[in-house]
Amino acid sequence: MSRMLLACGGTGGHLAPGIALAQRLSDEGHECLLMVSSKIVDAKMTAQYSRLRFVAGRGRGFGPGLINKLRFFPALVVSVWSAWRLLRQFKPQALICFGGFMSVAPALACFFSGVPVLVHEANRRPGKAVRLIARFAAAIHLPHGVRLEGIALSRQHDSGYPVRAEIRPLGRDVARRALGMPAAGRMLLVVGGSQGATVLNRWVETHQEEFSRHDIQVLCLTGPGGREGEIRSGDSVIRYLPFCDQMAAAYSAADLAVTRAGAGTLAELATCRTPSILVPYPQATDDHQTANARQAAEAGTAILLPEQEIRRLSEAVLSRINDKTILAGMRDALALADASNRWEELAQETIKLAHAQECATR
């Protein structure tokens, strides 16, 4: 079987699909090594996967600000050297990149070493790292309908978002018991992505009395270093958690979610059939979260609410969380979105390229 190096990490949106693909490849007998960052979010996520191998790589983002940009290039040289040393030890037959600053150095090291590179972009507006790596990658996997200019179309493929094996829908009562949340009443899930979102955390805090009046249970994932604790008022429970290692249960327990609009979050919401109101992170590179959210809204799986209009969020939640007709329609659309989330070609092409590289180097 082949050896695969996966460059992911830095955010949950980069790390989660890497883990999902590694699960798939490992199940088929291939040896996988995942290069991740040294961030807390990576450490928390990787701790759940004892059967996978992880290594902390070197990397630095490009900006913002002049100082950060000047520091990027010396850091890149060190990162490429570190990645090259890892290649000599692990000897992969293929590299799969998932974008972000953790992908650039191993991609360059593999390119100069003759190791085939594949790159996967989950967002509808490809980031800087993906646009760079795409120039020399053997294959580029992109969301349906997204293409990069100046790159041969034969190397560009439609691809879904790899979803981790454990992200599967659960019965609502089972999910709530797993989380320790009340079985009765409507439940709202608030997620600011793997890093958390201060604006969403504050929104929950300022509307606690309103949730209590309407008997709404709330699970708010506050992000690393965020608030932790529980508030009970009448039949309402509001729980704050910095991190949740039971995301399938969190999605499945909720009647409605308020989330950012990363591609990974959207794929997992679809898998678990969780209707949502999307509040895209406005400072995301190239405003890619708004592009993701707009497509989801057009497909009927979610509602788009820009952050600058967050004053309308309470009304949007209360008008929909008790409307069974609206929620049922969104769940039907989510089922269609999940059915179209095909990423088998990414795994198959990875295996094919690795096998060809293995034969060529014998």
| Among 211, 201, 253, 255, residue whose Cα is nearest residue 232 | 211
Token couple for 20: 């999902």
- 183 and 119 inside one domain: no
Instruction: Verify that 124 and 232 share a domain, yes or no.
Output: no
Same domain, 181 and 95: no
According to the model, what pLDDT value does residue 66 have? 58
7 with 17: CB under 8 angstroms?
no
Would 353 be classed as within a structural domain?
A: yes
Q: Are residues 183 and 328 in the same domain?
A: yes
User: For 334, left (φ over 0), alpha (ψ -120 to 50), or beta?
Assistant: alpha
With respect to residue 270, please indicate whether it lies within any of the assigned structural domains: yes
Closest-CA residue to 257 (of 303, 226, 222): 303
Number of domains in the chain: 2
**How far from 126 is each of 36, 134, 143, 273, CA to CA, in Å?**
20, 10, 9, 26
Q: Could you tell me where the beta strands, DSSP code E, fall in the chain?
A: 3-7, 31-36, 53-56, 94-97, 117-120, 139-142, 156-158, 186-191, 216-221, 229-233, 236-241, 256-259, 276-278, 302-304
8 shares its domain with 150? yes
- Residues 118 and 226 reside in one and the same domain: no
Residue 122 near residue 161 (C-beta atoms within 8 A): yes
Judge if 123 and 178 occupy the same domain. Answer: no
Domain CATH code at residue 38:
3.40.50.2000
Q: Which long-range contacts (CB under 8 A, 24 or more apart) does 209-216 make?
A: 209/233, 210/314, 210/318, 211/236, 211/238, 212/236, 212/238, 214/186, 214/318, 215/184, 215/185, 215/186, 216/185, 216/186, 216/187, 216/188, 216/321
Same domain, 88 and 102: yes
User: What predicted TM-score, i.e. pTM, was given to this entire model?
Assistant: 0.91
Residues 158 and 142 in one domain: yes
Residue 307 to residues 16, 261, 280, 312: CA-CA distances in angstroms? Answer: 25, 11, 7, 10
- Residue 148: inside a domain: yes
Q: Please indicate, yes or no, whether residues 204 and 264 belong to a single structural domain of this protein.
A: yes
Residue 351 lies in a domain: yes
Asked whether residue 182 falls in the same domain as residue 111, the answer is no
Q: Residue 215's domain spans which residues? A: 172-339
Tell me whether residue 324 is in a domain.
yes
Is 101 part of a structural domain of the chain? yes
Torsion sign (Cα): 167, 219, 292, 96 = negative
The torsion region of residue 185 among left (phi > 0), alpha (psi -120 to 50) and beta comes to: left
Q: Which two tokens stand for residue 197?
A: 């979102």
Does 326 map to a domain?
yes
CB-based burial label for 88 (10 Å; 0-12, 13-18, 19+): exposed
Cβ–Cβ < 8 Å for 94, 350: yes
Amino acid making up residue 264: G
pLDDT of 62: 55
Same domain for 68 and 34: yes
Q: Is the dihedral of CA 246, 247, 248, 251 positive or negative?
A: positive
Provide the token pair at 204.
């929950």
Residue 167 lies in a domain: no
Q: Which is nearest to 208 in space by CA: 307, 314, 327?
A: 314
For each of the chain's 362 residues, which pLDDT tens digit applies? Answer: 899 999 998 888 899 999 999 999 999 999 999 999 888 888 889 999 999 999 988 766 655 665 665 566 667 788 889 999 999 999 999 999 998 888 999 999 999 999 999 999 999 999 889 999 999 999 999 999 899 999 999 999 999 999 999 999 999 999 999 999 999 999 999 998 777 789 999 999 999 999 999 999 999 999 888 899 999 877 789 999 999 999 999 999 999 999 999 999 999 999 999 999 999 999 887 889 999 999 999 999 999 999 999 999 999 999 999 999 999 999 999 999 999 999 988 999 999 988 888 887 76
Please, are residues 195 and 11 in contact by the beta-carbon 8 Å criterion?
A: yes
